[in-house]
Structure 1
C-alpha cells in the first residue's frame, strides 16, 4: 500500500488503470475533456501491478481500477468520479491541475 500512496501523491491527478478496462477508458476521456493532465499507472503493464491492485482493494473498493487520486487522496472509482462530476464537485477539485481553461 505504501507504493500506491507514494505513486498517488506524486502528481495532482493520478489514476491506477488497466489498459483493457472500458471503465478506465471512460474516466480517462472525462479527465481529458476537462483538460486535466492525468498521470496514469497501467497495472497490467507493471510487474508489481497485482500487488498494487490488492493494496487498492484493501482501501475499501470491490474493484481496483479505475482508482482515482486527487492531491494524494483517494476519490474512488468510476461511480464516485462520475457522481462527483454530475454534482459539480469534481471541477473545483481538479482546477489546480487543469492545463487548459
Structure 2
C-alpha cells in the first residue's frame, strides 16, 4: 500500500488558483492534503524537484502529477479527471 496521499496540493497563502482548485475538489466531494510552500522552503524545493514547475498550485492525484488548476480543469473537461479520482478512492 502506498503512503502517497490520495490528493496532494502544494499551495501558498495568497493564491487565488489554489483556492479555486480546493473549491473545485470540494465540489467533487474530495479531501486532500495541503502543503504550504510559502511557509516551508524545503517543501518548495521538493515540489520543484517533483514537478519542474515553480508555480502553485501543483496537484497530485495518487502518483499522477495533474499540474495546476488550469491543467486540472482541462483534464476534467476532457473526461480524464474522474477516472483518476476513482482510482484513488
TM-score band, normalised by the shorter chain?
0.7 to 0.9
Change in Cα spacing, 1:55 to 1:64, as seen in structure 2 (3 Å) is farther
List, as ranges, runs of 4+ consecutive aligned residues in structure 1 with deviation greater than 6 Å.
Answer: none
Aligned pair partner of 1:25 in 19, 28, 35? 19
Q: CA deviation at 1:19?
A: 1.5
Structure 2 residue runs without a partner (length 5+):
none
- Secondary structure in structure 2 of the residue aligned to 1:24: helix
Q: How many residues align?
A: 87
- Structure 2 counterpart of 1:78: 69
Provide the aligned C-alpha RMSD in A: 2.0
1:3-42 counterparts in 2 under 5 A?
Answer: 10-42=4-36
**Secondary structure in 2 matching 1:41:** strand
2:79 aligned residue (67, 82, 88): 88
